């Protein structure tokens, strides 16, 4: 596994902790440093989808390089695209199947979380040594609500 893939996998592994926080209806995410009290997916998530954006900067574009899934069976990289057109258009997408997409430039990570039709939140922070990110460094990259 090359360094970029290892970093992406470490970020996804850390983000996978959001699944347990949603399933157990935690009011606050220690992973994303964010309140989850109004997340529609809280207590309703069947699986969490994690997508790495195809850009090498912090753009959360809708083209993806890699994807992972987290459910009651655990966290795993998925080889084939995990979504169907019907699921994306359904009321369950974002609620039973919430998702996180992330991008990294090798120094920082930005991720956006969709945990319901009206629930979206972004975070940005420094990468940790050896992969993953530092929750203590996370900020809202769009503080004005953009």
Residue 145 clears pLDDT 60, i.e. is over it: no
Mean model confidence pLDDT for the chain: 90
Model pLDDT, residue 142 = 86
Q: Where are the chain's structural domains?
A: 3-137
pLDDT digits over 95-131, tens only? Answer: 999 999 999 999 999 999 999 998 999 999 999 987 8
For residues 137 and 143, the answer to whether their CB atoms sit within 8 Å is no
Which residue in 42, 50, 100, 45 sits closest to 72, CA to CA? 45
For the segment 2-58, what is each residue's pLDDT rounded down to a tens digit? 888 999 999 999 999 999 999 999 999 999 999 999 999 999 999 999 999 998 889
Q: Which of 105, 109, 117, 95 is nearest to 49 (CA)?
A: 95
Residues 40, 92 contacting (CB under 8 angstroms): no
Query: Can you read off the two tokens belonging to residue 140?
Result: 């809202």
- pLDDT computed for residue 1 by the predictor: 61
The Cα–Cα gap between 81 and 45 comes to 19
């Amino acid at each position: 596994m090359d360094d970029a893939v290892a970093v992406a996998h470490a970020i996804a592994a850390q983000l996978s902790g959001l699944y347990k926080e949603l399933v157990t209806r935690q009011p606050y995410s220690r992973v994303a440093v964010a309140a989850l009290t109004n997340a529609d997916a809280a207590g309703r998530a069947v699986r969490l989808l994690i997508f790495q954006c195809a850009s090498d900067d912090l753009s959360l574009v809708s083209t993806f390089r890699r994807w992972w899934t987290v459910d009651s069976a655990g966290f795993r990289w998925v080889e084939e695209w995990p979504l169907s057109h019907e699921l994306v258009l359904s009321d369950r997408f974002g609620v039973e199947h919430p998702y996180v997409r992330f991008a990294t430039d090798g120094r920082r990570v930005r991720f956006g979380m969709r945990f319901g039709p009206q629930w979206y939140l972004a975070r940005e922070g420094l990468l940790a040594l050896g992969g993953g990110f530092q929750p203590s460094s996370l900020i809202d990259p769009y503080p004005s609500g953009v």
